[in-house]
């Protein structure tokens, strides 16, 4: 799977995501030989930069954040295709320059009129940029080649705004040219949920209400909101990560087997199960929220949420959210799914735990099983990637004492190659035009339908 000739045009190149994730991912793909020689990368921003300045910015980001070792030859080849266009999003002339720039690249580097536009910008600016792409003719593939647009969550802040946003995009780009990034789907451990469930025989018989007591999906972060007050205030943990990342994890755990792993089949199964997700009848009783306060983290004193730069002292935005969902299907009726996410928790950890029912009868004395919990299968998404099975085992000795033990699979021990970053996989899929890992609008809307009633 190697991308064909193309240009990646990026808006929002001065942002954190571009610097820490996207630019390094481009380099890592090039380093793995997955980008064609003529691949070109065009940045668009207000800065008064020349191509060389932007190449320097990219170089520094690569040096600092790339996953794979730095190789001068790879960088040299990549940097030959780096261009920069300076202008604001409302500047018609700048977009006309952008159009000439990519057409020149087609001639000079054989990129064949294939353009991906990556909108790494706040959603409020989508309409202007999308309209500019239309006005300047950049979105029009009639001269040959393909056009794709990539957007990052948040896809709106509720159902109505998500629809508005989508109308704006799909007025200019056909639905199959819109690639929505939920970077959790690009994580190896998340894709492995499909392998675990559908490439094996031993889990399926117990993967249901007959054996599973409840499911816990946890995304704990140790960081605070950093410099993202403007985005985070008024959004909060539930809309920032539960509406998308955690519901996607739920969908992969709870869905039925897709008939194939093509985009339509996979999305259809996810949508089916998401449409069966139900909030508790009493929302207040089935949800919880909190805000982090000042304290210590890693030997360092840290601010509380209300003291963070840019957060009003009376903000009610939650930095921790937990909710209990039901999944009304034959497989899951009556099994609670507990979803929780929060910032500034003691450690960073994302995992999915299927907790099994207790054995119906224990032929041991109560004191022998005092330390025996429920069986569990834990999918460790990050950072300690792997899978743990917890079960009871006899403690060595003369008594029949039974205690929990773990059986572990760790990526680092079973595989020699390290996992690519989510953005490497997703960027490559965009350039190849492979859509299974990108949620379509129906999934986004189902996510908002679930979350909207939660105030």
Nearer to ligand BG6 by Cβ, of 245 and 390: the residue is 245
Residue count, binding to ligand BG6 (CB under 6 A): 5
- Tokens found for residue 397: 């000795």
Nearer to ligand BG6 by Cβ, of 38 and 447: the residue is 447
CA-based R_g, the chain, Å: 24
CA angle 146, 149, 154 (to 5 degrees): 165
| Shortest distance in whole angstroms from residue 436 CB to ligand BG6 | 19
- Say whether residue 318 binds ligand BG6 (CB under 6 A): no
- Say whether residue 188 binds ligand BG6 (CB under 6 A): no
Q: Which is it for strands 115-119 and 147-152: parallel, antiparallel or unpaired?
A: parallel
**Residues between 332 and 371 that touch ligand BG6 (CB under 6 A):** 350
Measured from each CB, the residue nearest to ligand BG6 is 240
Per the residue annotation, which of 183, 245, 303, 361 is the catalytic one?
Answer: 245
Q: Which is it for strands 386-394 and 376-382: parallel, antiparallel or unpaired?
A: antiparallel
In this structure, the dihedral spanned by the alpha carbons of residues 95, 101, 102 and 107, taken in order and rounded to 10 degrees, is: 150
Q: Clarify whether 157 is annotated catalytic.
A: no
Nearer to ligand BG6 by Cβ, of 241 and 446: the residue is 241
| Shortest distance in whole angstroms from residue 350 CB to ligand BG6 | 6
Where is 36: in which H helix or E strand? Answer: none
**Residues between 24 and 43 that touch ligand BG6 (CB under 6 A):** none
Q: Which residue of 240, 271, 318, 401 would you call a contact of ligand BG6, by CB under 6 A? A: 240
Q: How many residues does the chain have?
A: 455
Nearer to ligand BG6 by Cβ, of 221 and 308: the residue is 221
For 360-400, give the DSSP string. S---S-GGGGTT----EEEEEEESS-EEEEEEEEEPSSSS-
| Shortest distance in whole angstroms from residue 111 CB to ligand BG6 | 30
Nearer to ligand BG6 by Cβ, of 287 and 350: the residue is 350
- Say whether residue 221 binds ligand BG6 (CB under 6 A): yes
In this structure, the dihedral spanned by the alpha carbons of residues 237, 243, 246 and 250, taken in order and rounded to 10 degrees, is: 150
Q: How far apart are CA 425 and CA 431, in angstroms?
A: 10
| Shortest distance in whole angstroms from residue 241 CB to ligand BG6 | 5
| Shortest distance in whole angstroms from residue 154 CB to ligand BG6 | 8
- Say whether residue 241 binds ligand BG6 (CB under 6 A): yes
Q: Strand (E) positions, 46-125?
A: 82-86, 115-119
| Shortest distance in whole angstroms from residue 221 CB to ligand BG6 | 5
Nearer to ligand BG6 by Cβ, of 111 and 218: the residue is 218
Q: Directed axis angle between helix 51-65 and helix 72-79, to 10°?
A: 150
Greatest CA span in the chain, whole angstroms?
Answer: 84
Where do contacts with ligand BG6 occur on this chain (CB under 6 A)?
A: 183, 221, 240-241, 350
Q: Which positions are annotated as active-site residues?
A: 245
């Amino acid at each position: 799977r190697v991308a064909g000739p193309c240009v990646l045009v990026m808006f929002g190149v001065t942002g954190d995501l571009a610097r820490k994730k996207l630019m390094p991912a481009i380099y890592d793909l090039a380093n793995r030989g997955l980008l064609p020689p003529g691949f070109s990368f065009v940045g668009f921003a207000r800065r008064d930069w020349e191509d060389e300045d932007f190449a320097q910015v990219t170089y520094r980001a690569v040096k600092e954040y790339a996953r794979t070792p730095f190789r001068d030859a790879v960088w040299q080849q990549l940097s030959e295709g780096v261009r920069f266009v300076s202008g604001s999003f409302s500047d018609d002339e700048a977009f006309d320059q952008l159009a000439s720039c990519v057409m020149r690249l087609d001639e000079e580097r054989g990129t064949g009129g294939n353009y991906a536009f990556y909108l790494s910008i706040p959603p409020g600016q989508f309409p202007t940029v999308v309209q500019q792409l239309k006005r300047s003719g950049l979105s029009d593939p009639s001269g040959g080649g393909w056009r794709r647009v990539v957007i990052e969550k948040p896809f709106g802040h509720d159902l109505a705004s998500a629809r508005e946003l989508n109308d704006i995009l799909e007025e200019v780009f056909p639905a199959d040219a819109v690639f929505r990034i939920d970077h959790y789907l690009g994580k190896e451990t998340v894709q492995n949920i499909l392998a675990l469930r559908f490439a094996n025989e031993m889990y399926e018989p117990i993967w249901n209400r007959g054996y599973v007591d409840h499911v816990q999906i946890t995304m704990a972060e140790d960081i605070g909101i950093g410099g993202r007050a403007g985005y985070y205030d008024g959004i909060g943990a539930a809309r920032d990560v539960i509406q998308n990342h955690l519901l996607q994890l739920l969908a992969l755990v709870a869905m039925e087997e897709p008939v194939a792993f093509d985009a339509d089949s996979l999305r259809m199964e996810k949508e089916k199960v998401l449409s069966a997700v139900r909030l508790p009848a009493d929302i207040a009783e089935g949800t919880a929220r909190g805000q982090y306060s000042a304290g210590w983290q890693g030997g360092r004193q840290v601010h509380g949420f209300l003291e963070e730069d840019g957060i009003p002292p009376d903000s009610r935005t939650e930095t921790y959210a937990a909710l209990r969902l039901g999944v009304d299907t034959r497989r899951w009726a009556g099994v609670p799914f507990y979803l929780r996410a929060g910032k500034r928790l003691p450690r960073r950890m994302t995992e999915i735990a299927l907790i099994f029912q207790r054995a119906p009868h224990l032929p041991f004395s109560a004191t022998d099983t005092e330390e025996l919990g429920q069986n569990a299968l834990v999918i460790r998404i990050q950072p300690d990637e792997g899978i743990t099975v917890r079960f009871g085992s006899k403690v060595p000795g003369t008594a029949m004492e039974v205690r929990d033990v773990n059986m572990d699979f760790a990526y680092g021990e079973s595989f020699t190659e390290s996992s690519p970053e989510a953005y490497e996989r997703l960027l490559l899929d965009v350039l190849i035009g492979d859509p299974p890992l990108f949620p379509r609008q129906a999934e986004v809307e189902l996510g908002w339908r679930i979350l909207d009633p939660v105030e």
